[in-house]
A and B are shown apart, each in its own frame.
Chain A
Amino acid sequence: MSDARTQILGRAREALGADELDVPVPREYRVTGDLAPGSDDVVDLLVDRLVDYRATVHHATTPTVAETVAALIADARTVVVPTGLDVAWRADWVPEVLEDSREEPLDVATLDAAGAVVTAARVACADTGTILLDGEPDQGRRAITLVPDVHVCVLRADQVVHLLPEAIRMLAPHPARPITWISGPSATSDIELSRVEGVHGPRTLHVVIVR
């Protein structure tokens, strides 16, 4: 194996020759947007993008998060939450709540049978309509936001930034966390390039924005 390694790296060095190639990288693109994080304008832009991808958007205030979420999951028999989810958001839910963590993970069959999952998020990018999760205890293992068919994601308005570079730079201090960017429910464009929502990931994505 080290043989292949030596040979590939050797060939690459040989291919490049002796000259030091110094390629300057210009960075003239926008790294901060015109819309301030958490502003009404940036939230409106995010909502526009999410709706375009057929995610469903709900608005709440801190005291109304629990009841807003409760209404969305009322039909489920069981609902999965990561252990770090804000307990205040969990008041008065009808379904049985199943906690999941890296230390005590639910098995796949349990996730498959669950009616919904409720998580927080790390940051959201309005320009592209993207919610970014980084697997911390309020968002949980990657499997919990994948296997259940309904994902309810609670986002604070102050977590919404305008451009992708702003979002990436919030994640950059911890690149090794398992990270998932979510832009709408799962979809495919593989049949005649027409977009169909709902393939293998959750077919329904509810985003609750808290101001």
Chain B
Amino acid sequence: MSTFLGLPRHRSSTPEEGPLGPVPHADDPLRWGDPFPVAARRALDDAQMRRNLGHATSTIRDKRASVVGEVPDWEALRDTGSAVKGDVMARLPELLAQLEENVTARGGTVHWARDADEANAIVTRIARERAVDEIVKVKSMATQEIGLNEALAEAGIAAVETDLAELIVQLSEDMPSHILVPAIHRNREEIRRLFLARMEGAPDDLGDAPRELAEAARVHLRRKFLSARMAVSGANFGVADSGTLTVVESEGNGRMCLTLPETLVTVMGIEKVVPTFTDLEVFGQLLPRSSTGERMNPYTSLWTGVTPGDGPQDFHLILLDNGRTRALADDVGRAALHCIRCSACLNVCPVYERVGGHAYGSVYPGPIGAVLTPLLTGAGTEDAPHGDANASLPYASTLCGACFDACPVKIDIPSLLVHLRARDVDSRRERTVPTGWDGAMKAASWVMSDGARLGRAEKGTAALRVLAGRKGYVGTLPPPMSAWTASRDLPAPPRQSFRDWWADEHDGNDGDGAAEENA
């Protein structure tokens, strides 16, 4: 079985010089840079990045908490969201066929892509057939994942990112570091410098107020929107029973792309299908409150095939696998496909907040990235190259459980992490030659691979609390955790380990086997 990754090379970790200093360069959007422990250590030296990130994530955490707190039936909505996604996975083939039938009946064309190369080739062909050499793009994780912009560039087609944060990443030739706000690691002054250096038509006296920066982007992109002939988008949801696709956004750049060009191509991961139109009443509440911490995002667009006289008259939907059926085959890991990409788990994660998104070496960073990336790429199985850096990702967590609590579709990320650690250890047990990071991770992985040992190890963190004493932080830790404590004091672990918490919450039943898949 091949790896379905577009460019299944080993990570290249050659950072390249950009207007804002060195930026990572990815050969493969799902596998780049150093393995997590190495990249994390380097990231910890970047004080500016950590300040930017700390400020941004604490802002969004507060906003999210307040808008979630005002919804009395939030838990009921989460239960439904979780179950709907479980139902989708169970009936995926049938729902995809239904979606295809409805999109086709309404004048759209449906394509299927097994991997990144196939999806990129379809988009390229559609552009070429229409003699288009520049397309406008709505921010989309799926097209990030397949490296569409790079593939189009090779074919001589320019892809213009129109989401503000995505534009910032594109202009700085950087990689995204957050799934909602890809430039979250940049502050206003850095963005001002970047616009002055790289953005056509930026006024010389550009200030660093967010309002001014947004205005500069508006002026820059408006001409492109009004003349674009083809757009490419992702989709937040694809409704099987009506063929309706949905894009949730803020700036109006999405509406521009979805409405004005003659041709629209939407690349959607096959897991994004939902059964019925009324399911949008659930996700329409869960997603905005969890992602931007708003009661509702400014704009949500719904369209079904082609509407004569309104919007693109040439519509293509590409249904993308690229490792999703592989993740589906893991009956525990499958739950990672429930993700609606809200980014709440990133914003609450103590590890993400300290090391930033780039350390994860994938377009999917943070807690969900630490499970989704290895599942999509098959890290820790025979499908992936030996010593695959992605196999270290499931260790990028303290298993504190904050991600699980924040997740609007109740993905039990801590249990998935433990499951993938075990899978990784099992696969390496069969291979005798240790690679570089194998050694670094060995102790941790041995402990994490077994439920009982994990329980003991987490109890051991109670000892750290004692070490930390009244100061409330721990100065140094043994490897591999020393990579963090070397540059930063680790906060004392919470009084309860995740497992103890679980046991308390579940009538003394130890969390072992807590990998209960939420629906």
Contact assessment for A5 and B298 in the assembled complex, using a CB-CB cutoff below 8 Å: no
Alpha-carbon distance between A25 and B142 when the two chains are bound, in angstroms = 27
Interface of A is mostly: loop
With contacts A25-B87, A186-B252 taken as known, whether A175 is within 8 angstroms of B93 at the C-beta atoms is no
Contact assessment for B252 and A175 in the assembled complex, using a CB-CB cutoff below 8 Å: no
With contacts A112-B226, A168-B281, A180-B301 taken as known, whether A189 is within 8 angstroms of B181 at the C-beta atoms is yes
Contact assessment for B79 and A135 in the assembled complex, using a CB-CB cutoff below 8 Å: no
Most chain-B CB neighbours within 10 Å: which of A30, A102, A109, A178? A178
Chain B contacts of A11 at CB under 8 A? 321, 325-326, 328-329
Contact assessment for B299 and A186 in the assembled complex, using a CB-CB cutoff below 8 Å: yes
Alpha-carbon distance between A163 and B77 when the two chains are bound, in angstroms = 13
With contacts A8-B112, A16-B92, A146-B256 taken as known, whether A179 is within 8 angstroms of B301 at the C-beta atoms is yes
With contacts A23-B519, A28-B79, A200-B221 taken as known, whether A53 is within 8 angstroms of B84 at the C-beta atoms is no
Chain A contacts of B90 at CB under 8 A? 16, 21-23
Binds B, one of A60-68, A91-99, A122-130: A122-130
Q: Which of B80, B259, B278, B284 contacts A142 (CB 8 A)?
A: B259
Chain A contacts of B295 at CB under 8 A? 49, 127-129, 183
Contact assessment for A168 and B278 in the assembled complex, using a CB-CB cutoff below 8 Å: yes
Whole-angstrom distance from the CB of A122 to the nearest CB of chain B?
A: 12
Whole-angstrom distance from the CB of B174 to the nearest CB of chain A?
A: 14
Binds B, one of A70-78, A152-160, A191-199: A191-199
Whole-angstrom distance from the CB of A57 to the nearest CB of chain B?
A: 16
Q: Is B12 an interface residue (CB 8 A)?
A: no
Alpha-carbon distance between A164 and B382 when the two chains are bound, in angstroms = 46
Most chain-B CB neighbours within 10 Å: which of A8, A141, A200? A200
Chain A contacts of B60 at CB under 8 A? 193
With contacts A16-B92, A26-B80 taken as known, whether A189 is within 8 angstroms of B296 at the C-beta atoms is no
Alpha-carbon distance between A27 and B87 when the two chains are bound, in angstroms = 13
Q: Is B384 an interface residue (CB 8 A)?
A: no
Chain B contacts of A129 at CB under 8 A? 295-296
* CB closest chain-B residue, reference A199: B251
Contact assessment for A201 and B255 in the assembled complex, using a CB-CB cutoff below 8 Å: yes
Whole-angstrom distance from the CB of B466 to the nearest CB of chain A?
A: 37
Alpha-carbon distance between A13 and B90 when the two chains are bound, in angstroms = 9
Q: Is B310 an interface residue (CB 8 A)?
A: yes
Alpha-carbon distance between A184 and B60 when the two chains are bound, in angstroms = 19
Q: Is B188 an interface residue (CB 8 A)?
A: yes
Alpha-carbon distance between A147 and B311 when the two chains are bound, in angstroms = 13
* CB closest chain-B residue, reference A105: B309
- Hey, what's the 0/1 contact readout for B267-278 against A, CB within 8 Å counting as 1? 000100000011
Contact assessment for B309 and A201 in the assembled complex, using a CB-CB cutoff below 8 Å: no
Alpha-carbon distance between A188 and B77 when the two chains are bound, in angstroms = 26
Chain B contacts of A146 at CB under 8 A? 252, 255-256, 259-260
Chain B contacts of A101 at CB under 8 A? 309
Contact assessment for B325 and A183 in the assembled complex, using a CB-CB cutoff below 8 Å: no
- Hey, what's the 0/1 contact readout for B52-88 against A, CB within 8 Å counting as 1? 1001100110010000000011001101100110110
Alpha-carbon distance between A168 and B279 when the two chains are bound, in angstroms = 9
Q: Is B213 an interface residue (CB 8 A)?
A: yes
Chain B, range 288-323, C-beta contacts under 8 Å to A:
288, 292, 294-305, 307-311, 319, 321
* CB closest chain-B residue, reference A171: B277
Interface of B is mostly: helix
Contact assessment for A193 and B181 in the assembled complex, using a CB-CB cutoff below 8 Å: yes
Whole-angstrom distance from the CB of B280 to the nearest CB of chain A?
A: 6
Alpha-carbon distance between A135 and B260 when the two chains are bound, in angstroms = 15
Q: Which of B93, B222, B243 contacts A176 (CB 8 A)?
A: B243
Q: Which of A14, A29, A192 contacts B329 (CB 8 A)?
A: A14
Contact assessment for A176 and B298 in the assembled complex, using a CB-CB cutoff below 8 Å: no
Q: Which of A5, A103, A141, A194 contacts B210 (CB 8 A)?
A: A194
Whole-angstrom distance from the CB of A126 to the nearest CB of chain B?
A: 10
30 contacts between A and B (CB under 8 A): A8-B270, A8-B321, A11-B321, A11-B328, A12-B270, A16-B93, A23-B86, A24-B83, A26-B76, A102-B310, A105-B309, A128-B295, A128-B296, A165-B281, A168-B280, A176-B106, A176-B305, A177-B307, A179-B303, A181-B300, A183-B298, A183-B299, A190-B163, A190-B165, A191-B210, A192-B56, A192-B188, A193-B184, A195-B294, A201-B251
Closest 5 CB pairs of A and B: A102-B309, A201-B252, A200-B252, A21-B90, A15-B329
New contact pairs (19) apart from A168-B277, A183-B296, A198-B218, CB-CB < 8 Å = A8-B114, A16-B89, A16-B90, A168-B278, A168-B281, A175-B302, A177-B307, A178-B310, A181-B299, A183-B299, A189-B181, A191-B213, A193-B181, A199-B164, A199-B251, A200-B251, A200-B256, A201-B252, A201-B299
Q: List B residues at the A interface (Cβ < 8 Å).
A: 52, 55-56, 59-60, 63, 72-73, 76-77, 79-80, 83-84, 86-87, 89-90, 92-93, 96-97, 106, 111-114, 118, 162-165, 168, 181, 183-184, 187-188, 191, 210-211, 213-215, 217-218, 221-222, 225-226, 239, 241-244, 250-253, 255-256, 258-260, 270, 277-278, 280-282, 284-285, 288, 292, 294-305, 307-311, 319, 321, 325-326, 328-329, 334, 519
